[in-house]
Amino acid sequence: MPILATQGLTKSFGSLKVVDRVDLAVEPGEALGVVGPNGAGKTTLFNLITGALRADSGKVLLDGRDITRAPPHSRSLAGISRTFQIPHPFAKLTVFENLLVAATHVQRRSEREVASECADILRRTGLEKSTNRLGGSLTLLGRKRLELARALATKPRVLLLDEIAGGLTEGECDALVETIREINANGVAIVWIEHVVHALTAVVGRLIVLDFGKRIAEGDPRAVMDSAAVREIYLGIAA
């Protein structure tokens, strides 16, 4: 059974259908990539999965259970977490305090109970030396890593990554890819939206392409990106 699935998920803003009957299924421990041009509906899809937006129709299922009408906090408690394209850390809290807030809020445990877990997450995400720095003082890479670390502090079973490699240098991107690989190898299912395709395909085993809210292709990442339809629609290269 998929750990996460959507069935006919649809969302419109006025007359514009942004997500159009999208079906997807994510197996436990899988890494799934989502690509598509700007405006394809990728982030809206994440917002529907996490409950930030209410679907017009269709379903979101977690472990086969319908969570379509569940509020965001209950989905987080159930194991769905995400990062955002633009990191917004708690600027006046330290990096460690940022994690404590996420962990205690979602896990509903005391700071003492989650402190060692947060310290381990800082190590795993390369933030150990920044533990006492203010969140607002970090570089872009640091903020991206903090965004990832805060999501991990909620102990997700499904992690949604939204453009986490955007704006990074090649070396920074490579280091981030290794971190994401490790997270996935530890059993966390990943759904990753990304325009930095080489980073995405270094991690995911399957790729979905969205265009104008519709799923137009799915399969092996290399085969999907080499297909004529994707080259024309996503990359703007005519066959």
Tell me: do 3 and 73 sit in the same domain: yes
Q: What is the pLDDT of residue 144?
A: 94
Q: What is the pLDDT of residue 22?
A: 98
pLDDT at 115 over 50: yes
Tell me: do 142 and 161 sit in the same domain: no
Please compute the mean of the pLDDT values over residues 92-96 and round it to a whole number. 97
Tell me: do 72 and 184 sit in the same domain: yes
Cα–Cα distance, 239 to 232 (Å, whole number)? 6
pLDDT at 140 over 60: yes
Query: What percent of the chain has a predicted confidence (pLDDT) above 70?
Result: 97
Give the pLDDT band of residue 185 (cuts 50, 70, 90).
very high
Tell me: do 50 and 128 sit in the same domain: no
Tell me: do 222 and 107 sit in the same domain: no
pTM above 0.75, yes or no: yes
Cα–Cα distance, 159 to 125 (Å, whole number)? 14
Q: What is the pLDDT of residue 238?
A: 46
Tell me: do 52 and 146 sit in the same domain: no
Tell me: do 169 and 71 sit in the same domain: yes
Please compute the mean of the pLDDT values over residues 27-34 and round it to a whole number. 97
Which uninterrupted H or E stretch holds 30? none
Final residue before a domain boundary, out of 155, 172, 201? 155
Tell me: do 180 and 217 sit in the same domain: yes
Is residue 3 a contact partner of residue 156, using CB atoms and an 8 Å limit?
no
Rounded to the nearest integer, the mean pLDDT of the chain is 93
Tell me: do 164 and 235 sit in the same domain: yes
Q: What is the pLDDT of residue 110?
A: 85
Which uninterrupted H or E stretch holds 125? none
Final residue before a domain boundary, out of 116, 137, 155? 155
Please compute the mean of the pLDDT values over residues 38-65 and round it to a whole number. 97
Please compute the mean of the pLDDT values over residues 129-144 and round it to a whole number. 95
Domain tally, the chain: 2
Domain ranges, residue 57: 1-79+157-239
Give the pLDDT band of residue 229 (cuts 50, 70, 90).
confident
Q: Around Cβ 119, how many Cβ atoms within 10 Å? A: 14
SS3 content of the chain, % helix, strand, coil (to 5): 40, 25, 35
Q: Given CA atoms 112, 117, 120, 124 in this order, what sign does their dihedral have?
A: negative
Cα–Cα distance, 29 to 8 (Å, whole number)? 23
Final residue before a domain boundary, out of 137, 155, 173? 155
In 3D space, the residue among 95, 118, 123, 93 whose CA is nearest the CA of residue 107 turns out to be 118
Q: What is the pLDDT of residue 138?
A: 96
Give the pLDDT band of residue 232 (cuts 50, 70, 90).
confident
Cα–Cα distance, 206 to 201 (Å, whole number)? 8
Please compute the mean of the pLDDT values over residues 146-160 and round it to a whole number. 96
Most distant pair of Cα atoms in the chain: their distance: 58
Tell me: do 19 and 46 sit in the same domain: yes
Tell me: do 142 and 170 sit in the same domain: no
Please compute the mean of the pLDDT values over residues 41-58 and round it to a whole number. 97
Q: What is the pLDDT of residue 239?
A: 44
Tell me: do 73 and 172 sit in the same domain: yes
The CATH code of the domain that includes 170 is 3.40.50.300
DSSP codes, 141-204: HHHHHHHHHHHHHT--SEEEEESTTTT--HHHHHHHHHHHHHHHHTT-EEEEE-S-HHHHHTT-
For residue 85, what are its two tokens? 């394209």
Is residue 81 a contact partner of residue 156, using CB atoms and an 8 Å limit?
yes
Give pLDDT tens digits for 190-207: 999 999 999 999 999 999
